[in-house]
Amino acid sequence: MFNTSKIIRFAVYSIALGGLSLNLEAQTKPNVILIVTDDQGFGDLGYYGNPHVKSPTIDQLAEQSVRFDEFLVSPVCAPTRASLMTGRYALRTGVRDTYRGGAIMATDEITIAEILKEAGYKTGMIGKWHLGDNYPSRPQDQGFDFTLNHLSGGLGQNGDWPNALEGSRRYFDPILWKNGEMIQTKGYCSDVFTDEAIHFVDKNKADPFFLYLSFNAPHAPLQVPDAYYNMYKDIDPSKGFENDDRPFPVMNEQLKENARKIYAMVSNIDDNLKRLFDTLDRMGIRDNTLVIFMTDNGHQHDRYAAGMKGRKGYVYEGGVRVPSFWSLPSQFKGNRDIKTPTAHYDILPTLAELCGAQRPTDRILDGKSLLPLLNNETSSLGNRTFARSWVRGGPEQYTNISIRNDQYKLVGNTVQHANIDTFELYNIVADPFEQHNVVLTHPSEALDLKQNMDVWFKNMISEHNFTKDHPAIVGTMHENPSVLNINDAIFTKNENLGQDVAGWEIEVAEAGYYDIKVQLFQKEINNIKLDLKIGSETITKEAITLTDGIIHIDRLTLEKGTIRLTPFVTNEKGAYIKPFYIKIDRQF
């Protein structure tokens, strides 16, 4: 039930930190606020040349900060979040995707929150987690003292079952989870998250704190208060770039409307950050608070992207290069640009060094501390390569994969055993917009990078946490009942149906009686059949009529151990009905 090895490691860390804390008594540890927005691209700020979006607070933060202009993340959100939490490539942590069970981080990973908590920090997580929604993968299980979060990859997605059926209102008055308890909130989601962030800062201002403020905006669905939309309703997002010779996408009317709503959501976040920063100033703690602003991946829809190629989901720069502003007035000289390539997994080792925390020593960390760059002590962190990969359900060796060093970037969108000339090679320094494939004229550089790519890929898919599932643990004091949502389900092909069927890997903490409810999307339905597969056994219920969409199986005996739970529901024609979620309630 408990991760004993993690507890032992932290006991050792605590002993080490006991001596370290004596050296820190004469100085004040900095507070840390890590701000991450969702699907906000590099070009979705005024600071980077967008004439339309109004983001004065973030622009001012950029002007006052150390700016990492070559800051690289993953092509999609859950892998980025796993890397920034752990200092490791996401595949090492078990995170490979955004749903279908691929967004559950292994519980034996050690997070920023855990190491800072051991160093005396109060820790808070607000907004989007997306690394597992059940014990032991929730943010409160991974080192956070305070949590306020939604489920799944976004408010109202199917995995976020409390809000999924709210339609066009899912970003307003959302149902959230506060320290594991469901609560009804009032207001627009980004406003709600910021209110709670301000409250967390006020409550913990006497102690060093770490706040992970993770907005779900401007991720789709593109819902925003009218007052913000009206700021942009009359603009043409494709105009205003006539004197800009960088590449620009073709925008149809739908893309233009998407951009208007996204810019409105960004402006709302900007106003909320002003409220937060004003609070820091009013409390007199701004100078000693490290504020990091970044986004989780590139833009989702085609629009201005400062000339970069690609968007969310792609390994081109438009998908993986994001803003990264670091401001700590008491220590870092601001208004500086750093061109050295850096990445999301550099955050944990940087914060460990800055905050006097013990970084994990029993595993590979892919990140490096950025303090020498932040303190202007060096302009290089040595020879580094940065690999990126993402395929739905993947990874695949040569599909949507890249690796780069300081000068060259190799992109693979080809097949196994393909010749090197089927890859793309870019001189990323001379050609930052990836317009000129030079693989034919620089084959040796391409072959060197491909060799590194092959080694990286082999290492990733051999990682222990990549090769196993990360089941929810049901029937514990930490979470009972457990609600298993469709985002964390594992899908397997049913050959008879020719389609994928959802199931959940669970670990039963204790043998006993359990009530199970299978919730369907459709509430009223007649003459359906359930085959509930529990490991190698099947329980069948036939001729079921529902008025609330719930199939009940009461006082089912489950043995202790790990099993696969698959509710196979069919209608009278034999067509598969995908479940919405499953509720498992241990009866004591």
Q: What is the pLDDT of residues 194-227, one digit of tens each?
A: 999 999 999 999 999 999 999 999 999 999 999 9
Are residues 476 and 456 located together in one domain of the fold?
A: no
Mean pLDDT computed over every residue of the chain:
94
* CATH number of the domain bearing residue 82: 3.40.720.10
pLDDT at residue 8 greater than cutoff 60: no
> In the prediction, which pLDDT does 498 show?
83
Region 167-178 average pLDDT: 93
User: How many of the other CB atoms lie within 10 Å of CB of 31?
Assistant: 24
Q: Output the pLDDT for position 211.
A: 98
With bands split at pLDDT 50, 70 and 90, how would you rate the model's confidence at 15?
Answer: very low
Highest mean pLDDT: which of 341-355, 392-406, 489-503? 341-355
Rounded to 5 degrees, φ, ψ at 203 are -70, -30
Q: Is residue 381 part of a domain?
A: no
The answer on 174 and 36 residing in a single domain is yes
Residues 369 and 399 in one domain: no
The reply to whether 467 falls in a domain is no
Q: Which helix (H) or strand (E) holds 12?
A: helix 4-24
What CATH number has the domain bearing residue 483? 2.60.120.260
Ranges assigned E (strand) in 456-495: 472-474, 482-485, 490-494
Average pLDDT for residues 418-430, to the nearest whole number? Answer: 97
| Any domain includes 200 | yes
pLDDT in the model for residue 67: 98
Residue percentage of the chain with pLDDT more than 90: 91
Report DSSP state, residue 117: H
Do residues 308 and 432 make contact, with C-beta atoms less than 8 angstroms apart? yes
Joined together, the tokens standing for residue 510 give: 């204790």
Residues 124 and 250 in one domain: yes
| Contact between residue 475 and residue 512 where contact means Cβ atoms under 8 Å apart | yes
Same domain, yes or no: 268 and 308: yes
Is residue 7's pLDDT more than 60?
no
Residues 155, 16 within the same domain:
yes
- In tens, the pLDDT along 460-469 reads 999 999 999 9
**What number is the average pLDDT over the span 363-371?**
98
**pLDDT category of residue 12 using cuts at 50, 70 and 90:** very low
Instruction: List the beta bridge partners of residue 327.
Output: 291
Instruction: Let me know whether 351 and 418 are in one domain.
Output: no
**Encoded tokens for 437:** 């494939």
- Looking at the structure, do residues 456 and 521 belong to the same domain, yes or no? no
Domain-located, residue 398: yes
How many Cα atoms sit within 13 Å of 495 on the Cβ side? 0
Give the chain's domain count: 3
Residue 545 lies in a domain: yes
Q: Please tell me the pTM assigned to this model.
A: 0.94
SS (H, E, C) 298-337: CCCCCCCCCCCCCCCCCCCHHHHEECEEEECCCCCCCCEE
Residues 362 and 450 in one domain: no
355 and 406 part of one domain:
no
| Residue 212 domain-assigned (yes or no) | yes
Residue 466 lies in a domain: no
> Which one of 429, 461, 493 terminates a domain?
461
Flag whether pLDDT at 26 surpasses 80.
Answer: no
Residues 479 and 406 in one domain: no
Does a structural domain hold residue 15? yes
CA–CA distance from 548 to each of 233, 399, 520, 530 (Å)?
A: 40, 43, 9, 16
Burial class, 103, CB count within 10 angstroms (exposed 0-12 / middle 13-18 / buried 19+) = buried
pLDDT in tens, 97-112: 999 999 999 999 999 9
Q: Which of 333, 348, 374 is the last residue of a domain?
A: 374
Q: Which domain holds residue 505?
A: 472-587
Residues 80 and 119 in one domain: yes
Distances (CA, A) of 297 to 117, 209, 314, 341: 27, 26, 10, 16
Percentage of the chain with pLDDT > 70?
A: 95
Compute the distance between CA of residue 583 and CA of residue 482 in angstroms, rounded to an integer.
Answer: 6
**Among 101, 91, 138, which Cα is nearest to 469's?**
101
Q: Is the pLDDT of residue 6 over 70?
A: no
Q: 163-172, 190-199, 362-371, 473-482: lowest mean pLDDT where?
A: 163-172
Going by pLDDT thresholds of 50, 70 and 90, the confidence category of residue 296 is: very high
CATH code of the domain in which 415 resides: 3.30.1120.10
Residue 496: which pLDDT band, with cuts at 50, 70 and 90?
Answer: confident
Between CA 403 and CA 410 the distance in angstroms is 5
Among 374, 405, 433, give the residue marking a domain's end.
Answer: 374
* Predicted confidence band of residue 504 (pLDDT cuts 50, 70, 90): very high
Residue 334, φ and ψ in degrees, nearest 5: -90, -175
Answer yes or no: is pLDDT of 178 > 80.
yes
